[in-house]
Structure 1
């Protein structure tokens, strides 16, 4: 019980929350970027386009 009281008094739970949330935010940004890139590459291959810049910029 003493250990739990020390952990709560030091605010370790609050710092642990930030450690958990940061990777979730990175994942939330990284995964859609990869999916968007894969979609664009798939469209380029499907329609046999020379460059993918036309799709990215439009």
Structure 2
């Protein structure tokens, strides 16, 4: 996914949303619909991306 927003002009929140969308798409679609996460995809995303936060 290309950057839709220009980082120089985007707010911190816009950059954060862009990163969240890119991360979602990194894990979605491996087991079907690319716009949803299966339980396994969700588990993998949470484990890989929030492992330190979730402890």
TM over 0.5: no
Give the shorter-chain TM-score range: 0.3 to 0.5
Using structure 1 for the length normalisation, give the TM-score: 0.40
Using structure 2 for the length normalisation, give the TM-score: 0.42
Q: Higher helix share goes to which structure?
A: 1
Q: Indicate the structure whose relative CO is greater, using CA pairs within 8 Å and at least 6 residues apart.
A: 2
